[in-house]
Amino acid sequence: MKLVFEKGSQGRRLELISKMDVPEVSFEQEHRRERAPRLPQMSENEISRHYTELAKRTHGVNDGFYPLGSCTMKYNPKVNERAAALKGFQRVHPLQPQETVQGSMEVLYLAEKYLCEITGMDAMTFQPAAGAHGEFTGLLLIKAYHVRRQDEKRTKIIVPDSAHGTNPASAAMCGYEVVSIPSREDGCVDLEQLKAAVGEDTAGLMLTNPNTVGLFDKNILEITRIVHEAGGLCYYDGANLNAVMGIVRPGDMGFDVVHLNLHKTFSTPHGGGGPGSGPVGCKTFLEPFLPGVRPVKDEDRSQREQGGSCQFLRSPESIGDVKLFYGNFLVVVKALAYIMTLGREGIPQASSNAVLNANYLKVKLSDVYDMAYNETCMHEFVMTLEGMKQRNGVTAMDIAKALLDYGVHPPTMYFPLIVHEALMVEPTETESKETLDEAIGIFHKIYEEAIRNPQELHSAPHSTPIGRPDEVTAARKPVLRYTWE
């Protein structure tokens, strides 16, 4: 397929903006660019067709089953899009006088209220734009807390070896040393290892529960107790909240600070890799350090007037700002619409069915595929192709690529690192039994292929726009932009 730079023709343009009606003023020579940027010169028709062609080579949740473990690729409801498209949300400048943006402040206020209730936290900021950004923010809260206590010794963050890569990366960005503790055979935190690792230098622990192998760590209260006793704080990576929202709350499990992924658990679309939103919630004692400003209601006026009016306030010992303005506001609008739709009953129903669907898939695939762990899983489970690799050379990569030929997006490959030849499967609650049964059939077919004709799988996929790309050369001799000859 041609690039946009290889289409169009010199001189083609759209008539998009009106003619100027004031005298022309332009830069002096010293500030003028020498050569115009080389951007496409196409007609609107050509542009429209180019992007339609690109869309046809793109696969989203809207196109088919997307059981990507750890990403919660659930259905993106259209009502959320309609809410975010409202003129009142799209056309307001972030620096308008506060009396003129009470609606936007109400969105942030309600989202904070509902999400604090769901997570068991007391305050929340929506400034972080993604999960990793939220992790960075949450860790800065922990850092500010220890600095405030003048406890300079706490330089380490404990992270299980099963953790998502963003966890240690975020800790390093905050200047912490990362202490990785090995998980038990059953994928859960090794309490002995944890006890040995905590001490006076422990700033905190980063954990997700259920963990990255999809299991609920039953020792969670003991884990958080051990860390608290040593003087550290507990950070909850909310990426897996879809397993437990409305069923358990991180705040009740001993966590002091959490981040959420609105683009996972709360159904906002992934957009090909963003924009997301990674709000950070915390307990009262960490509230003074929150970044940005938060809408606060004058409670007395709330009684007199409907709703009352909001005012932006900054926490007294705020760590500053992690982003300009208030966060990915339109993403928060979508998440709020979703929470309003699900409500008190729908939230636990979503997570219950997420867990049901995952266990259903796991049980029905267990006859031919090896599962990394046999216990009841939560919203996702890990398959291991290690055995198959030994027996007939078929790897997790091969299975994943074979799935592409059936129009199914593969599960997450090679994560978590503690399982060899891992495929992590997360169906989510928005898939029907028929879709799951169809997927089960496809997985079985592929298994039979793997036994009968492993070679076929090594060369999969066959029916996609491109075959397996040469990633080695792409890294060795990077070509990161189009160049005109």
Interface positions, 127-146, toward other proteins (CB under 8 A) = 129-133, 135-136, 139-140, 143-144
Among 122, 123, 178, 283, which residue interacts with other proteins (rule: CB under 8 A)? 178
How far is 245 from 140, CA to CA, in rounded Å?
25
How far is 415 from 412, CA to CA, in rounded Å?
7
Site string for other proteins, 195-214 (x = CB under 8 A): --------------------
| In the complex, least distance from residue 125 CB atom to other proteins, rounded to whole angstroms | 12
Residue 294 host element (H or E): strand 293-297
**Touching other proteins, residues 332-361 (CB under 8 A):** 333, 336-337, 339-350, 352-353, 355-357, 359-360
CA 47 to chain centre: 31
Judged on CB neighbours under 10 Å (0-12, 13-18, 19+), 363 is middle
In whole angstroms, how far apart are CA 41 and each of 38, 354, 356? Answer: 9, 48, 52
Give the residue carrying structure tokens 């696969």. 59
**Touching other proteins, residues 76-135 (CB under 8 A):** 76-77, 79, 81-83, 86-97, 100-104, 106-107, 113-114, 117-118, 129-133, 135
Site string for other proteins, 2-21 (x = CB under 8 A): -xxx------xxx-xxx-xx
**Which one, of 98, 93, 144, lies nearest residue 318 by Cα?**
144
The one segment of 189-197, 315-323, 384-392, 419-427 that binds other proteins by CB under 8 A: 315-323
Among 122, 123, 155, 174, which residue interacts with other proteins (rule: CB under 8 A)? 174
In degrees and rounded to multiples of 5, residue 421 shows phi and psi of 50, 50
The one segment of 148-156, 187-195, 225-233, 397-405 that binds other proteins by CB under 8 A: 397-405
- 376-394 as b/e: b if 16+ CB within 10 A: ebbbbbbbbbbebbeeeeb
Among 263, 280, 421, 457, which residue interacts with other proteins (rule: CB under 8 A)? 263
- Name the β-bridge partners of 422: 384
| In the complex, least distance from residue 143 CB atom to other proteins, rounded to whole angstroms | 7
Task: Please give the order of strands across the beta sheet that includes 370-371.
Answer: 370-371, 381-384, 422-425, 412-413
Site string for other proteins, 268-307 (x = CB under 8 A): -xxxxxxxx--------------x----------------
Among 28, 185, 299, 300, which residue interacts with other proteins (rule: CB under 8 A)? 28
In whole angstroms, how far apart are CA 36 and each of 16, 25, 28, 29, 100? Answer: 19, 18, 16, 14, 40
| In the complex, least distance from residue 483 CB atom to other proteins, rounded to whole angstroms | 8
**Touching other proteins, residues 414-443 (CB under 8 A):** 415, 429-433
Size of the site for other proteins (CB under 8 A): 197
How far is 400 from 412, CA to CA, in rounded Å?
9
Q: Is 456 in the site for other proteins (CB under 8 A)?
A: no
Q: Which two tokens stand for residue 302?
A: 């709330």
Among 65, 69, 73, 156, which residue interacts with other proteins (rule: CB under 8 A)? 73
Among 65, 69, 74, 449, which residue interacts with other proteins (rule: CB under 8 A)? 74
